[in-house]
Amino acid sequence: MESLQDVWLTLQRLNPATNPLALADILMVSLIIYAVLYFMRGTPVVQLIRGILVLVVVLFFLSSFTQLTALRWLIRNATPALFFAIPVIFQPEIRRGLERLGRGSFLFGRYYGQKPLMASVVQEVAQAAKRLSERRYGALIVFERDVPLQDVIETGMPIDSAVTAELLITIFYPGTPLHDGAVVIRNQRIVAAACVLPLAAEVPDPQMGTRHRAALGITEQTDALAVVVSEETGHISLAYSGRIIRNLDEGRLTRLLLAFYEPRKREQTTTTKPKREQGPKPQSTRPFSSDET
C-alpha cells in the first residue's frame, strides 16, 4: 500500500488550489508524454511500449496489494536498470526523434502530415502501372496514409521527386539499381525507392512471389496501399489491409485508389447518384494464379 500512498501524496501536491505551479508542472509532463508518443507513432515500438506499460501496471498493483517481499525487492532493484535499458532498446527512435527536433519539424510543422492524394498523382501511378504491365516490368508502389512509413523509407534510397509515370517506369526498368524494391509515395511525392518491406507470413497462394508477399506484409502492419505489377503475368494488383485485388486495369485502379483516399466524398456522391464502382470490397480478394519470384 505504500506505493498507492505515495501516488496519492503526489496528486495532492499537484492540486492547483494549493500549488500555483501545479498547472505548469502538469502541462510540462503532458508535453513530454505527447512528444514521446508522437515520435514513436506508427512504428513497431508502439506495441513494445504497450507491453511494457501493461507489465509495469500489473507489477505495481501486485506489489501494492500483496505482501510479496521478494517481488517488491525485485521491482525495487530492477527499476533503476530500466533507465539504462530504455536508451538501448529505443536507440533508433531516440536518434530519429532528436534529428527531427534539430530540424524543427516537431516545433514548426507536422513531419508526418498527410494531405489528400491528388487525382493527378493517382492517374500518373495508374498510367505507369499500365505501361509497366505491358512491358512485363515488375513494380511495387506503396502509398503512405495515416501510419508513417519512416522505418521503411530509411531502408531505401531517398529521391524526393514529383510523381510521374516516366520516372516510375525508369525506376522499375530491370537494368536500374533501384528496380528491386518498393517505391514509397508520401504527400504526393516519391520520397524513396528500393525500399525493403516486411513479408507476409501467410499468403492466399503459395506461389506468390516476393513482391506480392511484401505488398501483403506492409498492408497487414500499416494502413498503406500497395500497387503491384507482376513481372511474369503483367497483372496489376492492389493490396490493402492484408488483402489483394487482382487483374485491374488503369481505370479500375484509379477508381479504387481514389475510393481509399476519399471515402467520405464517395459516400456522399453515391447517395445522390448510384455508380457501378462502390469502392473496394473484401469479396473481390482472391489469390494470384502465378507471380514473379
Q: How many domains does the chain have?
A: 2
Read off the pLDDT band of 241 (50, 70, 90). Answer: confident
Q: Which of 97-101, 157-161, 172-176 has the lowest mean pLDDT?
A: 97-101
Pair (123, 30) in one structural domain: no
The answer, yes or no, to whether residue 97 has pLDDT greater than 60, is yes
Whether residue 177 sits in one domain with residue 76: no
State CA 40 to chain mean position distance: 11
Say yes or no: 48 and 137 in one domain.
Answer: no
Asked whether residue 83 falls in the same domain as residue 178, the answer is no
CATH number for the domain spanning 165: value is 3.40.1700.10
Question: Please, which pLDDT band fits residue 288 given cuts at 50, 70 and 90?
Answer: very low
Q: Is residue 293 part of a domain?
A: no
Same domain, 183 and 43: no
User: Does any domain span residue 291?
Assistant: no
Report, as an integer, the average pLDDT of 126-141. Answer: 95
CB 145 within 8 A of CB 224: yes
pLDDT tens profile 50-87? 777 787 778 777 766 667 777 777 777 777 777 777 77
Instruction: Give the residue from 143, 134, 188 showing the smallest Cα distance to 161.
Output: 188
On whether residue 223 sits in a domain, the answer given is yes
Residues 170 and 79 in one domain: no
pLDDT single digits (tens) 197-223: 999 887 777 777 889 999 999 998 888
Together in a domain, 249 and 273? yes
292 in a structural domain: no
- Asked if residues 3 and 64 have their Cβ atoms less than 8 Å apart, the reply is yes
pLDDT tens for 10-52 read 656 666 666 667 677 777 888 887 877 776 665 556 667 777 7
Lowest mean pLDDT among 36-45, 64-73, 109-118, 144-153: 109-118
87 shares its domain with 60: yes
What CA–CA distance (Å, rounded) separates 254 from 261?
Answer: 11
Residue 113 falls inside a structural domain: no
| Pair (123, 56) in one structural domain | no
Residues 137 and 16 in one domain: no
- 76-110 burial, b at 16+ Cβ within 10 Å, e below that, comes to eeeeeeeeeeeeeebeebbebbeebeeeeeeeeee
100 pLDDT more than 80: no
Q: For residue 125, give its domain range.
A: 119-284
Rounded to whole angstroms, the Cα distance separating 124 from 170 reads 13
What is the percent of the chain with per-residue pLDDT over 70, rounded to a whole number?
67
pLDDT value at position 31? 85
Closest C-alpha to 253, from 164, 127, 118: 127
pTM value > 0.75: no
- Using the 3D structure, point to which of 108, 136, 170 is the last residue of a domain: 108
Q: Which helix (H) or strand (E) holds 184?
A: strand 182-186
